[in-house]
Chain A
């Protein structure tokens, strides 16, 4: 149980285009989903927290207009990188949590999406 999928697993796009990444919890309902960014050989950097049915909460320094997050259902969250540029190239990882009102609820991670912007 607690499987999280991401699609696509990798994507290459031209500078200026928008890219949408999907994150799905396959066998449980996720009240909260998180989006992380990971640079090579570095730790995960939290970008935003999204709760089903409400606006995402972005971490300081993350442009909300550039990284659009939608959490329309309890099993799906999407991250759209708008007008992507080469500096947006990175490994994007989502995670899902059943209920963040439960202190210490485990986050289950998706396999990640590698974005390359040419």
Chain B
């Protein structure tokens, strides 16, 4: 069975602080993909990143960075120097080879960035 856990329900930070959103996943598949999406108050989910299970290299995109560690089954997301526009709900998702492209979503983490 597949499962994604985001233990942080809500996080509040002050602008310019760094913040890390945690994501832990469970799967027995050896081939899988992990995703992060942002859902701003408008409601539309915005794709942020996709990583496959064979590539543990961390990735940085501007103020965003992702730390993928298979040893701990985690795929954490860090925002550096947070901004008010980063305020949103962030979802981590898992898809596995054995269940073509079906997404297993975490419960989401609401990030509040205060000015």
Q: Hey, which bits of chain A sit against chain B, CB under 8 A?
A: 2, 32, 34, 41-44, 46, 49, 91, 93, 95, 97, 100-112, 114
A107–B43 contact, CB under 8 A?
no
Contacts A104-B95, A106-B35, A106-B50; A32 near B101 (Cβ below 8 A): yes
Residue interface bits B87-115, CB-to-A below 8 A is 1, else 0: 00001000101001111011110100000
- Chain A residues closer than 8 Å to B47, beta-carbon distance: 2, 106-109
> Nearest Cβ distance between residue A82 and chain B, in whole angstroms?
24
> Nearest Cβ distance between residue B85 and chain A, in whole angstroms?
18
Contacts A106-B50, A107-B101; A43 near B42 (Cβ below 8 A): no
Q: Hey, which bits of chain B sit against chain A, CB under 8 A?
A: 31-33, 35, 37, 42-47, 50, 52, 91, 95, 97, 100-103, 105-108, 110
> Nearest Cβ distance between residue A22 and chain B, in whole angstroms?
16
Instruction: State in angstroms the CA–CA spacing of A114 and B106 once bound together.
Output: 22
- Chain B residues closer than 8 Å to A111, beta-carbon distance: 42-44
Instruction: State in angstroms the CA–CA spacing of A114 and B95 once bound together.
Output: 26
A104–B42 contact, CB under 8 A?
no
Q: Which of B43, B50, B52 is A112 in contact with, Cβ under 8 Å?
A: B43
- Chain A residues closer than 8 Å to B46, beta-carbon distance: 109
- Chain A residues closer than 8 Å to B107, beta-carbon distance: 42-43
A105–B101 contact, CB under 8 A?
yes
> Nearest Cβ distance between residue B83 and chain A, in whole angstroms?
22
A100–B101 contact, CB under 8 A?
yes
